[in-house]
Amino acid sequence: MKLLRRGFYRLVAGAAALPVASRGAAAQAWPSRPVRWVVGYAPGGGNDIVARLMGQWFSDRLGQTFVIENKPGAATNIAAEFVVNAAPDGYTILLVGQPNAINATLYETLPFNFIRDIAPVAGIMTVPNVMVVNPSFPAKTVVEFIAYAKANPDKVNMASAGNGSAAHLAGELLKSMTGTSMVHVPYRGQAPAIADLLSGQVHVLFATSPASMEFIKTGKLKALAVTTAVRADALPDLPTVGDFVPGYEASAWYGIGAPQKTPAEIIDRLNRETNAGLADAKLTVRLADLGGTLIPGSPADFGKLIADDTEKWGKVIRSANIKL
């Protein structure tokens, strides 16, 4: 009887271990098919460029295609909701950015709670927004721009990648700190906003450096300043907005999120592969060309960045009474 009882307990213990073993095996096998990487903007913008560079690294490294799927609209909320509702199996991930932190306060009602429903996976890079104007615009410095905007209230058209986007909030922050009044012109992504800036249809844009760098280098856009607290390595001769407007700072950032309940083994694997990419010389050169500062670290590190930025922009939105 004792032998039978021991056999029964061993059988139960083995059965209880099967789900854990299955999950571990599934994580080890990941990815066994293409991974969908959802980007909340139209192709061609800074978010899209970063995702495609990293996506190619993952595809080459992991032997499965990382398909970039652009789902623009509602300031990235459409893309975020899509990923929130996706199966938590590691085959749908989200390019997370500053707008996700902004939207938590900007939108009074959302069908999801970003911090609760999206698991942080890995940070990729922070990038300065660059205050850029069409070369024909009369102001050539931040000081001249502020003076022109004050002398011409509501005659400066400020483009953005959409209501509540990082570019929008960077501009609103400048307006509130300088007492200027500009007309906000939202677009369905950064690429169409830049297109209209190039043609002179709008006057100023707080663009991400990945999307604007080539236009700045070729002289098609005039850069006035970066929005980071210190000068950007990629644009060392360019002052910061804060040099003229003390206390001004608005950095953009990129990272990866996944549906909540995605197995920890898959999140840890993708985090390791991301950090490996951020240590790869060829990839880091490409990312550095976009003007970014790499932010390798753990999922917890990236989660703290999201939480801190959500609190920061929440205070800005509430104090400026910004509403859609």
Residues 111 and 136 in one domain: no
Residues 86 and 179 in one domain: no
Residues 101 and 153 in one domain: no
Up-side HSE of residue 87: CA atoms within 13 Å toward CB? 5
Residues 88 and 231 in one domain: no
Query: 168 in a domain, yes or no?
Result: yes
Other C-beta atoms within 10 Å of 14: how many? 10
Query: 17 in a domain, yes or no?
Result: no
Query: 138 in a domain, yes or no?
Result: yes
CB 304 within 8 A of CB 297: no
pLDDT confidence bin for 251, thresholds 50/70/90: confident
Q: What is the mean pLDDT of the chain?
A: 89
Query: 26 in a domain, yes or no?
Result: no
pLDDT at 277 over 50: yes
Task: Write the pLDDT tens digit of every residue in 19-52.
Answer: 444 445 555 689 999 999 999 988 987 789 999 9
For residue 244, the model assigns a pLDDT of: 97
pTM of the model: 0.75
Residues 203 and 307 in one domain: no
Query: 11 in a domain, yes or no?
Result: no
Query: 18 in a domain, yes or no?
Result: no
Residue 213's contacts (CB-CB under 8 Å, 6 or more residues apart) are 234, 289, 290, 291
What's the rounded mean pLDDT across residues 94-121? 95
Residue 257's contacts (CB-CB under 8 Å, 6 or more residues apart) are 83, 93, 94, 96, 100, 118, 119, 120, 121
What's the rounded mean pLDDT across residues 143-158? 98
What is the domain-level CATH number for residue 193? Answer: 3.40.190.10
Residues 77 and 111 in one domain: yes
Residues 90 and 162 in one domain: no
pLDDT at 7 over 90: no
- Nearest CA to 226 out of 211, 210, 208 is that of 208
What is the domain-level CATH number for residue 302? Answer: 3.40.190.150
pLDDT confidence bin for 271, thresholds 50/70/90: very high
Query: 7 in a domain, yes or no?
Result: no
Q: Among 220, 243, 266, give the residue marking a domain's end.
A: 243
| Structure token digits, residue 72 | 């623009």
Residues 86 and 140 in one domain: no
For residue 12, the model assigns a pLDDT of: 39
Query: 29 in a domain, yes or no?
Result: no
Residues 139 and 102 in one domain: no
pLDDT at 223 over 80: yes
Q: Among 243, 278, 308, give the residue marking a domain's end.
A: 243
Task: Write the pLDDT tens digit of every residue in 60-95.
Answer: 999 999 999 999 988 899 999 999 999 999 999 999
For residue 316, the model assigns a pLDDT of: 78
- Percent of the chain having pLDDT more than 90? 68
Residues 118 and 266 in one domain: yes
Residues 224 and 259 in one domain: no
What residue numbers bound the domain in which 313 lies?
A: 35-126+252-320
Q: Among 188, 211, 243, give the residue marking a domain's end.
A: 243
Q: What does DSSP assign to residue 199? A: H
Residue 2's contacts (CB-CB under 8 Å, 6 or more residues apart) are none
Residues 147 and 206 in one domain: yes
